[in-house]
């Protein structure tokens, strides 16, 4: 007979979980494993709301296991460390992103790309080594293997740092891998949401000239004045698209809805790269001629490895790359999810767990 979530493990925990495909979250008592010799346990102070959380609570990807405690942009303060933990101590400011385990022996893991390990374990909704389901950051405490813990530098406020753990690394990794991190390159960012706005900030910090490509003309002012973008292109405006043909060294495309690739490929210079970090469900049309005639590339990317995530965090601290967040109390989460669905947030909700998550 399976045990209740509250009884699975020795350490009590509480959070908010979705119980069914309505995706509505409500208080939930559960438990966390004892802090093992390589584990770091921490009190959760903030948890970012990623669009993936919204997909998962509604089981849109078909893989959700209920009750589901989402949250993979988790930050807080260390409360206990296992006997073999070297890098962290009680009181440290730390975070956990999208993964809490991987095989540590495959090619990907050996190359510090745990995110591509075929046995990678997600922070929530996945089966852990002990057979129990993982619970994420919409909760009061968290425990994870030291390998998957990230240090948050002192000069980054914790609430703003939280979204870096998923949104941040998701755009930072491809900027580096696809060579779009050199000064004076011209980088396009498609979509100005959680991922897109952080992409603008990182690209600017790396010395790029940045053009935001969006379907919403009303985002232009903020893009230019607040986020620091150099220009703004309304993707439905044919004239604007024409004028920008062949001007971009690379594009980070954060849009996960179906959308045409041809105009974006046209914006690329010869040897340009279009990188998708949002994953539309159905295939997109790929015209061969433009790809070949300009020796262009369309590539994908998914979060990043642990070493790279720490590097990203340190880079963000050094260059003051801080996501723009709307901090909300725990009991606002269902409203926040509804607003997120309508893209009504500038640009990431972050739950103030430390101050507003009350024991059930």
Using CB under 8 A as the binding rule, whether residue 291 contacts other proteins is answered as: yes
Query: Parallel, antiparallel, or unpaired for β 325-328 and 348-351?
Result: parallel
Please state the closest distance from residue 119 (CB atom) to other proteins, in A.
13
Contacting other proteins within 167-186 (CB under 8 A): 177
- Of the two residues 275 and 336, which places its CB atom closer to other proteins in the complex? 275
Q: Which of residues 297-356 bind other proteins (CB under 8 A)?
A: 297-302
Separation of alpha carbons 237 and 220, rounded Å: 14
Identify which of residues 15 and 193 has a Cβ nearer to other proteins in the complex: 193
CB of 184 to other proteins, least distance (A): 14
| Beta-carbon-side half-sphere exposure of residue 183 (alpha carbons within 13 Å) | 1
Our finding on whether 10 is near other proteins (CB under 8 A) is no
Q: For every residue of 117-149, which 3-state class applies, written as one string?
A: CCCCEECCCCECCCCCECCCCCECEEEEEHHHC
In the complex, the smallest distance separating the C-beta of residue 182 from other proteins, rounded to whole angstroms, is 16
Q: If you write DSSP's letter for every residue of 30-63 in order, what string do you get?
A: EEE----TTEEEEEEEEEE--HHHHHHHTTTTS-
Return d(Cα 264, Cα 266) in angstroms, integer.
5
Shortest distance, CB of residue 46 to other proteins, whole angstroms?
27
Nearest of 123, 119, 149 to residue 50 by alpha carbon: 123
Interface with other proteins, residue 293, by CB under 8 A: yes
Distance CA 5, CA 67 (A): 9
Nearer to other proteins, 59 or 115 (CB): 115
Footprint of other proteins on 104-123 (CB under 8 A): 107-108, 113, 116
DSSP 8-state class, residue 300:
E
Q: Which of 188, 192, 197 is nearest to 163 (CA)?
A: 197
Span of 37-45, 145-153, 186-194, 279-287 interacting with other proteins by CB under 8 A: 279-287
Stretch in the footprint of other proteins (CB under 8 A) among 28-36, 83-91, 271-279, 308-316: 271-279
* Residue 194: CB minimum distance to other proteins, A: 16
Nearest residue (CB) to other proteins, 2 versus 293: 293
Footprint on this chain of other proteins (rule: CB under 8 A): 107-108, 113, 116, 177, 261-262, 270-271, 273, 276-281, 283-302
């Amino acid at each position: 007979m399976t045990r209740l979530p509250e009884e699975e493990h020795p350490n009590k925990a509480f959070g908010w979980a979705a119980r069914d495909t309505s995706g509505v979250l409500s208080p939930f008592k559960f438990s966390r494993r004892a802090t093992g010799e390589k584990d770091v346990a921490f009190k959760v102070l903030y948890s970012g709301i990623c669009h993936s959380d919204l997909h998962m609570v509604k089981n849109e990807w078909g893989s959700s296991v209920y009750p589901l405690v989402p949250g993979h942009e988790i930050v807080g303060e260390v409360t206990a460390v296992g006997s073999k933990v070297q890098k962290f101590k009680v009181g440290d400011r730390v975070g956990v992103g999208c993964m809490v385990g991987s095989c540590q022996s495959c090619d990907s893991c050996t190359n510090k790309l745990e995110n591509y390990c075929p046995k990678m374990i997600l922070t929530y909704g996945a089966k852990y080594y002990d057979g129990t389901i993982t619970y994420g950051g919409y909760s009061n405490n968290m425990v994870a293997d030291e390998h998957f813990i990230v240090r948050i530098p002192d000069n980054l406020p914790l609430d703003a740092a939280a979204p870096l753990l998923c949104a941040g690394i998701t755009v930072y990794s491809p900027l580096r891998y696809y060579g779009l991190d050199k000064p004076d390159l011209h980088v396009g960012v498609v979509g100005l949401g959680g991922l897109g706005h952080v992409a603008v900030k990182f690209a600017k910090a790396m010395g790029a000239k940045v053009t935001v490509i969006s379907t919403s003309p009303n985002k232009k002012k903020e893009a230019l004045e607040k986020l620091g973008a150099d220009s703004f292109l309304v993707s439905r405006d044919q004239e604007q698209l024409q004028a920008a043909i062949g001007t971009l060294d690379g594009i980070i495309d954060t849009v996960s809805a179906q959308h045409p690739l041809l105009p974006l490929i046209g914006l690329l210079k010869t040897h340009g790269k279009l990188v998708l970090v949002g994953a539309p469900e159905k295939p997109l049309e790929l015209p061969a001629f433009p790809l070949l005639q300009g020796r262009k590339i369309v590539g994908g990317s998914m979060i990043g490895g642990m070493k790279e995530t720490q590097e990203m965090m340190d880079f963000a601290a050094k260059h003051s790359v801080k996501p723009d967040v709307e901090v909300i109390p725990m009991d606002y989460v269902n409203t926040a999810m509804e607003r997120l669905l309508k893209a009504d947030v500038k640009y990431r909700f972050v739950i103030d767990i430390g101050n507003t998550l009350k024991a059930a």
